[in-house]
Structures are given as structure tokens and as C-alpha cells.
């Protein structure tokens, strides 16, 4: 039995099939204002609506191509699901030809956003490039905030003892596309783990993404167990495509 660090082979194929989306709309994004529809950025030159708020990862049109859902707005025309055609860190421009500068404000989230989760494993686990999906075999037991039946955004059920990861939108470092997951920690936890599996909790079958080998068994005793990922740059990123 062994844990071998590897990008899962099945993930490589699925990535080219468009199954995994690492673009992230951070947390719950509250909109502060809506501009009346105008311009011609939509398909066939149709008008679009600009929503202003805080979109931390939206710079340089990072959200362009995502389907965004708007809800809770006092003006019905500002609610709905639309394609994003442009974004900055403070605005998203979407194909809503009827947006209006009126009524109470609401929130926005990415309808197609995937939820990635991470599960920890003991040294008895067998994981590697051939791993195709989440498995509970030889996963560490629940402890502290590392609990069975974790729940992701929107109530999506995650597999046993997993926690949703927060990622940043992929960027280009020289000619290499790079992903980054933020540091994740479990508190008040007594854990002994030799590796981990990142998988896509949004998709049926919970397909595997990458196996992490810690190189040894690391433990916490009623304390904090953390995983810090390498920087989002070529040669360092946890997931990169050159």
C-alpha cells in the first residue's frame, strides 16, 4: 500500500472534455448598484447589464464565459441567469438586455462553479495516478472540524470527512496555466495523515483530481492540521498546464 503524488490520469482526460471548472466567484457577492442595460457586447450586438460590487477574482475578464445567477433584486428584470461577457474586480457585464437601475440590490453566484473537496488518508491507503474517484477506504477518522458529511456551498453534499477547498481563478504564468488552492486547516483535531485526495464534489461519481503524498505521516493532537499549497506560478503550482 502506498500514496503516490500524481495528477490523476482520468482527470487529464476529463479536463479536455470540459468536465472541471476552476474559475471561482468568491463567497457571496453582494451587488451595490446596477446600470441600466445598454451597449452592444452581447451576442449579435445585444445590450448588456453591468452589475457593480466586489468580485475579487474577476480582474482581466476572468469571469467571461461563466454563467452567473442573480437573485434577490427588488426589480425583477435584474434577476435571472446570464452569460458573463466581461468582468473586473468591481463589475460583471452580463447578457441581460433588460437590466434596470432601480429597486433593492441582491447577490450573484456562478451557476457552473465547481466545488472541490479534499479528504485525508492514513499511510494504509493506496492512491496514485490510477485513482479515479473519492474513496472512504483508509480515510482518517472524524476529529474536531474534520467531520463526516461536510456540506458545500448551496447545500451540496460532500463525501465523508471532506472539506470544501477555496481556489483562485487560474492564471497564466509565462506560458503555463496555473491553479492555486488556499491554505486549508482543521482545528481541534487529532489527525494522523500521510496524504490527501482532491476531488470534484460537484460532479456525479466525485471524480479524482490529484493525489497528494506528504512523504511521511504528520499528526496533530487536539490542535490545528493545515495544508499549505505552493504558489501560483510555473514550476510551483499544484496543478499546471504548460
pLDDT digits (tens, 9 = 90+) for 32-44: 999 999 998 887 7
Rounded distance between C-alpha atoms, residue 149 and residue 172, angstroms? 35
**pLDDT given at position 111:** 62
% of the chain residues with pLDDT over 90: 49
**pLDDT given at position 161:** 46
Rounded distance between C-alpha atoms, residue 16 and residue 7, angstroms? 14
Look up residue 66 and give its three cell numbers: 461563466
Instruction: Give the residues across from 184 on adjacent strands.
Output: 227
**pLDDT given at position 14:** 94
Rounded distance between C-alpha atoms, residue 116 and residue 65, angstroms? 20
Which of 46, 51, 41 is closest to 85 using CA atoms? 41
**pLDDT given at position 27:** 52
pLDDT category, 10, cuts 50, 70, 90?
A: very high
pLDDT digits (tens, 9 = 90+) for 133-179: 988 899 998 888 786 533 333 334 455 445 567 777 788 999 999 99
Q: Which domains does the chain have, with CATH numbers?
A: 6-20+114-241 (no CATH), 29-110 (2.40.30)
pLDDT category, 28, cuts 50, 70, 90?
A: low
Cα angle, residue 109 at apex, residues 172 and 86 outer, rounded to 5°: 50
Element (H, E) at 48: strand 48-53
pLDDT category, 53, cuts 50, 70, 90?
A: very high
Rounded distance between C-alpha atoms, residue 139 and residue 199, angstroms? 14
Using the predicted structure, report yes or no on whether residue 1 has a pLDDT greater than 70.
no
% of the chain residues with pLDDT over 70: 87
Of 58-67, 84-93, 153-162, 182-191, the one with minimum mean pLDDT is: 153-162
Of 51-60, 124-133, 208-217, the one with minimum mean pLDDT is: 51-60
Amino acid at each position: 500500500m502506498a500514496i503516490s503524488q500524481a495528477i490523476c490520469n482520468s482527470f487529464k482526460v476529463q479536463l479536455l472534455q470540459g468536465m472541471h471548472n476552476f474559475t471561482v466567484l468568491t463567497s457571496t457577492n453582494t451587488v451595490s448598484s446596477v446600470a441600466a442595460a445598454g451597449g452592444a457586447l452581447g451576442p449579435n450586438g445585444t445590450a448588456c447589464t453591468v452589475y457593480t460590487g466586489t468580485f475579487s477574482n474577476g480582474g482581466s475578464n476572468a469571469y467571461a464565459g461563466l454563467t452567473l445567477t442573480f437573485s434577490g433584486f427588488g426589480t425583477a428584470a435584474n434577476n435571472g441567469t446570464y452569460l458573463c461577457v466581461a468582468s473586473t474586480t468591481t463589475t460583471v457585464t452580463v447578457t441581460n438586455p433588460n437590466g434596470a437601475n432601480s429597486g433593492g440590490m441582491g447577490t450573484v453566484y456562478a451557476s457552473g462553479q465547481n466545488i472541490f473537496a479534499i479528504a485525508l488518508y492514513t499511510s494504509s491507503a493506496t492512491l496514485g495516478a490510477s485513482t479515479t474517484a473519492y474513496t472512504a477506504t483508509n480515510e482518517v477518522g472524524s476529529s474536531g472540524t474534520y467531520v463526516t458529511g461536510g456540506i458545500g456551498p448551496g447545500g451540496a453534499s460532500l463525501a465523508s470527512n471532506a472539506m470544501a477547498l477555496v481556489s483562485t481563478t487560474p492564471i497564466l504564468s509565462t506560458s503555463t496555466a496555473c491553479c492555486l488552492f488556499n491554505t486549508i486547516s482543521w482545528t481541534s483535531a487529532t489527525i494522523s495523515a500521510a496524504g490527501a485526495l482532491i476531488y470534484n464534489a460537484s460532479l456525479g461519481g466525485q471524480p479524482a483530481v490529484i493525489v497528494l503524498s506528504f512523504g511521511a505521516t504528520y499528526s496533530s493532537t487536539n490542535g490545528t492540521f493545515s495544508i499549505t499549497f505552493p504558489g501560483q506560478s510555473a514550476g510551483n503550482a499544484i496543478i499546471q498546464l504548460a
